[in-house]
Structures are given as structure tokens and as C-alpha cells.
Structure 1
Amino acid sequence: MNHFTNDPSRRRFLRNMTFGAALFTTRGLFAEQLARTPSLTEGPFYPDKIPLDADNDLILINDSITPAVGEITHLTGRLLSPNGSPLKDVTMEIWQCDANAVYLHSKDSSSKKKQQDQNFQGFGRFTTGSSGEYRFRTIKPVPYPGRPAPHIHVKLKRGDQELLTTQIFVRGDEGNKRDGVFYQTRDLIDRELLQTDFTPIKDSRTGELSAVFDIVIGRTPDENAFRNE
């Protein structure tokens, strides 16, 4: 498994590469800073009605025993400040289209041309504790019409304050090369920071996957949000 963007030492390496010129002139400058996760557009299909079941398991809705269609994926990671400190009391929201490429949004799911997977929750939340860790069970993302790169949308909040909106991409997916949103991030390092591996879990009888994606939230423009970190 490639943890290139999730190993703090490698994130520091990326950060140092970005600010290499400054490092030559100011000894130690940024040396202990982790590379920040780039922000990306929210997109048109953040749910216009939050589902009653908005927990961190998107595979099963309420007490249903019928799982969603798709490759079950355990999405995990940590929310960190640039100095590597875990961020607690941050709510992470994710949303994505189902295996039929339908979002949980009235402008998409109401289309007569699309068949929505009624067993896929489509949206979930998780609030971090002292370790900064988050955990979701969802499906491996699939392409969406107009978006050839499979992706998961992410929004981070603390109280009423939005800290970061971004997207998680499948590392090495061919659709990334044709995706306009992915390529609006022109910096090669930022593109690397937006991708992660979806790796088969050893001995899983159902072919489940693991995706590890650490998120580093910058101090600006939300300096006050990290005052106590």
C-alpha cells in the first residue's frame, strides 16, 4: 500500500519541496510543517435535504439489512493541523454518487433516466475525538457524467464555521487525466495530496477495500479555529 500522502514525514518532504527557495535562505523555516490539503469546489450536489440517517456507515440505511451496491470501502484517516497536532471536535461530512452514478440530490435523483440505489445513504458525518481520527464505511467512488474521475466530496466544519471543502480521488485512475476539477489544481504536489490508494483488505471474504487519507487543515483563513490545538 502506498501511503505517500498519509505519512507525516513525506508530507513534510512535499512541503519542503514547495518552499525550497525559502528553506535555503531561512534555516528551519517550514521544516516541521505538513503539506496542507488543497481545497476544491463543493460541486452542485451537496444534499439539498440531509437524510435522517447521516451516520458514518453509508452502506446500510437505518435498520436495513440490504447493503448498497458497490465495492465496500473503509475510508479512514486523521485530521491534523500543519504542525501535526490532531484536531478534535471537527465534523467531517462526505457525499458521493452511488454505484449507478446518482447523487442524493433532488436535481439528480429525480431524473427519470437514472435508477438511484435506494440502499446507499449517499451522505455521512463523523466528529473527531482527541486523536483526530475519522472513519467511514462507504463504496469506492465511480465516475459521474461530466466527471470522469471517481471522487468523494469532503467538507470539514467546527460548529458553524466551514474549515475546508475538498475531494478525494483514486490514485492512478485513468479518469483523473480527463477530469476538469482535478486538473484545475495545476500544482503537481497538490494533485498528489488529493489522491489515495483503494487497496484490497487482506483475507476479506467480500472484497472490501481500505483507503487511508489524512487531511491537513491550514491556519488561514481560520486561525481562530485552531487556537486551542
Structure 2
Amino acid sequence: MMSEPITLDYSRVFCVMLHDVAPIYERHVAQFTSTLAPLIGNQMSAAVVPCWDGEELTEKDRPFLERVKAEYGNIQLHGFEHFRRKGSGWVSRIADGKDEMNGLDDAETDWRLAEGQKILTRWFGEPARGFIAPTYNIGLATPERLARFGMHYTVGYKRVITSDGQQLPLSSWIWDVSPIRFLCLLGYRYGQLQYRFRRQACPCVVLHPLDLDRGFLPQIERTVTRLLRAGRQPILLESLGLGQPLQPKATAV
């Protein structure tokens, strides 16, 4: 499939995405909302894990989920339970075993995508149109496979890829790289370098609940404020038309 860049003025926009949205982190999600909403409103994406570490969403989670739906402009599927259950590797060791999609076969991958969409539809009224793989390791969850489950873009560390082969380059700040704090600091510094030198990429501020426990919220807030003062506006990927099904090409008559 031939990949094409998405046309966008990267000098005027940025995006914010909160990963690991699950009831276990209700307090963390609320704190991110109260800190960032006054700056950017609901122009944030919530990457929801429908069965965090094996605990499926239930009726008692409804108030939390309704707040997420109201306060975040996009809902994305973020794996099924986030944790890897089969095998191991260097990504697993660095990411504390949270690379869920690695080590899955075709059948297990399909089951997790289907069940994840079913649960999100139950609680949010519609399925997700975008996917973010835990630790950005997609395993067998390719754009073509995701499209069969209604998801037409997948977010990676350096790019968004759509089901029709378009690409949106990203320069990402990430603090929750690993339980090792030094690597978290490197994640931020690398984001700064990308922002400076990858001018043809859309800046993306990537948040995780554990960023709060590690004391990174002030730095996150400063990063968002700096982007706003540079004249950039927050955007949602789906406001660019991402998430739409692949359109069939017209045939000549």
C-alpha cells in the first residue's frame, strides 16, 4: 500500500493524548482534566483500556465513563487489557510487561480487538475509530486488520497511519517510558529534540496516569502552555477526517 502524507500546516497545531484511561486511574484522569481543560477545553483524546489487567468495565464505572465522554473529544481503543500475557522481550522488560499486543496470534488479536470494540460501544454508545497499541507495539494489529473492526487510524510514536495508507508524522513527548525515572526524563528530552528539528511533524503531548505520581505534571503543563504561546491550536485527529472508512476508488467508464 502506497503511503501518502496528510496535508496539514504543522506549524500551527498540536495534539494531546491521555493513555491508560481506566477506572483504576479515575483520580489521575480527573487531575489531568482539571489542569488542562482550562487551557485546551476538550481538545484531548482519551485512549481507553476496556479491561484493565483483566478487570472489565462495569455499571459502577458509569459515572467515570460519562465524565470521560463529556470531557475528552476523542475516544480511542488502547488495547484490551494492556498487559502482555504470552512471552517476553526487551520491550516487556523496559515497559514492565505492558506491551499487550506482542506475542499474540491472529485469533487472539482479533478477539481482543472485537471485544474491546464491543465494550466501548456498550459504554460510550459507539465503537472507537482509532487505535493506540500499548507501548506502540502493534503486533499483528495492522491498519488493514484494524479496519475490519471499524478503526481506521492507528497512532504510533512517530506517525499516525490510516487504513488507506496516509501518514501524519508526529513528534511526541512521553514521560512514562519505563518505571526507570532516568528513561522517563530521556523521553521528555527526546520530545524536545523532535519538536526542534522535526518541523514537518505534528507535536503530540502524550500523557499517562503515572506521570502524576512521578511529579511530571508541572512540566506537562509548561509544555502545553509553551505550545499555545507559540500560536499553536490543539486539534483532534478525527477533526482532520481520520477514522473514516476507506473510500473505494472511482472506476473509469
Q: What TM-score results when the alignment is normalised by the length of structure 2? A: 0.30
Q: TM-score, normalised by structure 1?
A: 0.32
